[in-house]
């Protein structure tokens, strides 16, 4: 824990973590808020899954594009423009009586303009700390972001049930705008400039560690999305049980991140962490009892933040600084497509066979999430005793005199 205390005392680290977590808080709210609102409006989890899929597909397309644009227009300009458009689109879903195709279209626009906060902050981190602090910072960030998944579902469930699903969505918009403004006014954004990449869009995916992190991130988030839908379907909209179980799931991730974040990252690191997620998810499918789900999902959660931290680190060490934002954009795209696939598959199986279907889907996805890094170990960098900073960009220096 002393390494985390030292990190938080580093100039600007605590502030930028808090600002970006607030700006990204809607990520822990929107899926559940949309699920509750759309299911309540159309009386179908399948339709809710389609709207969530449209949102996630829009985000998936935007991920590498908006991240790359930050190297052309600057971080502040891109984030401000996308934040404005996105907030209006999300509000429209909450406030306007839209037919299903229109709701999907507006959700797609919302996803397409979701501010690229995560790629921006992942790019800033290597410039804020020394090389020895970078891997612990990724772990601390991955652990801290679980606050989003602890409080987000609880707040969304409470507001949507006690006040109304419209207000659950509008509260997410308030966090998006308020947190976005806080992040935009952070001085670190002015101190770091992302160089314009000289490579073609998508070239970073030729780096095996980036592709590995993208695929495993897709499977991990798909697992989590299916679990979230299964928990909501199990306990319905009439009580706080769903939010409590999802909060325990996220607390497991927080505990895992803080406990394992200081561990050296060897070539087996990602497979081991995904194995924890698979075991917990697989046994969760055995029963829909609230205590059983709370315990097993806590176990599954222990592997989530550590797995994410490993993904951030192996991407960072594998690309040039000018390509980091785009690389993290692709990783984010994989995760968002995972959210779309997980939500859609779970939604349709819930309609077909009941809530247990969502947990079966989650277990299958988690198994794949373990097998991919197991079989792809040779593409996993060994970071034990190694600097996790990005590869410096080298440019010709013009000498005078």
Give the Cα-Cα-Cα angle 170, 171, 177 (nearest 5 degrees).
90
pLDDT in tens, 103-143: 899 999 998 898 888 888 877 887 787 767 777 777 777 77
The secondary structure of 233-274 as a DSSP string is HHHTTSSSHHHHHHHHHHHHHHHHHHHHTTS---TTHHHHHH
**Structural domain boundaries in the chain:** 10-189+201-379
C-beta atoms surrounding 164 within 10 Å: 15
Which stretch of 123-137, 206-220, 288-302, 366-380 has the lowest confidence by average pLDDT? 123-137
pTM over 0.95: no
Tokens of 89: 């689109």
DSSP label of 391: B
Stretch 257-280: mean pLDDT: 86
Number of alpha carbons in the 13 Å side-chain half-sphere of residue 273: 32
- Note whether 298 and 325 are within 8 A (CB): no
The secondary structure of 324-342 as a DSSP string is HHHHHHHHHHHHHHHHHHH
CA dihedral 136, 321, 63, 71 (to 10 degrees): 130
pLDDT in tens, 332-354: 888 877 877 887 788 888 888 88
How confident is the model at residue 239, as a pLDDT?
57
**CATH number belonging to the domain at 10-189+201-379, selected among 3.40.50.2300, 1.20.1250.20, 3.40.50.450, 3.40.50.410:** 1.20.1250.20
Answer yes or no: is pLDDT of 241 > 50: yes
The secondary structure of 309-321 as a DSSP string is HHHHHHHHTTSBG
What percent of the chain is modeled with pLDDT above 70? 91
Stretch 296-310: mean pLDDT: 90
What SS3 state is found at 104? helix
């Amino acid at each position: 824990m002393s390494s985390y205390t030292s990190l938080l005392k580093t100039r600007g680290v605590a502030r930028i973590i808090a600002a970006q977590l607030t700006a990204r808080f809607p990520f822990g709210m929107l899926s559940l808020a949309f699920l509750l609102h759309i299911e309540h409006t159309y009386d179908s989890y399948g339709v809710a899954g389609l709207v969530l899929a449209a949102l996630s597909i829009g985000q998936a397309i935007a991920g590498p594009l908006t991240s790359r644009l930050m190297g052309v227009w600057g971080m502040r300009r891109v984030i401000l423009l996308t934040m404005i458009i996105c907030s209006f689109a999300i509000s429209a879903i909450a406030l306007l009586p839209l037919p299903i195709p229109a709701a999907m279209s507006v959700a797609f626009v919302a996803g397409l303009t979701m501010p690229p906060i995560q790629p921006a902050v992942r790019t800033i981190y290597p410039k804020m700390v020394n090389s020895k602090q970078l891997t612990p910072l990724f772990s601390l960030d991955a652990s801290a972001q679980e606050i989003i998944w602890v409080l987000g579902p609880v707040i969304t469930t409470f507001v949507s049930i006690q006040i109304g699903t419209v207000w659950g969505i509008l509260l997410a918009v308030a966090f998006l705008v308020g947190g976005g403004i806080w992040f935009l006014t952070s001085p670190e954004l002015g101190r770091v400039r992302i160089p314009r990449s000289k490579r073609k869009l998508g070239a970073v995916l030729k780096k095996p560690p980036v592709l590995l992190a993208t695929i495993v991130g897709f499977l991990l988030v798909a697992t989590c999305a299916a679990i979230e839908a299964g928990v909501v379907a199990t306990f319905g909209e009439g009580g706080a049980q769903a939010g409590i179980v999802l909060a325990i799931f996220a607390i497991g991730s927080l505990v895992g991140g803080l406990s394992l974040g200081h561990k050296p990252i060897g070539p087996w690191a990602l497979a081991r962490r995904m194995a924890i997620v698979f075991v917990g998810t697989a046994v969760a499918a055995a029963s829909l009892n609230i205590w059983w789900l709370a315990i097993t999902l806590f176990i599954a959660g222990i592997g989530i933040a550590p797995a994410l931290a490993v993904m951030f680190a192996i991407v960072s060490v594998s690309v040039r600084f000018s390509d980091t934002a785009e690389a993290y954009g692709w990783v984010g795209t994989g995760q968002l497509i995972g959210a779309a696939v997980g939500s859609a598959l779970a939604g349709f199986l819930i309609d077909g066979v009941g809530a247990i279907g969502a947990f079966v889907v989650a277990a299958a996805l988690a198994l794949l999430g373990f097998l991919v890094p197991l079989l792809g170990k040779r593409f996993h960098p060994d970071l034990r005793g190694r600097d996790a900073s990005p590869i410096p960009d080298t440019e010709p220096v013009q000498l005078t005199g």
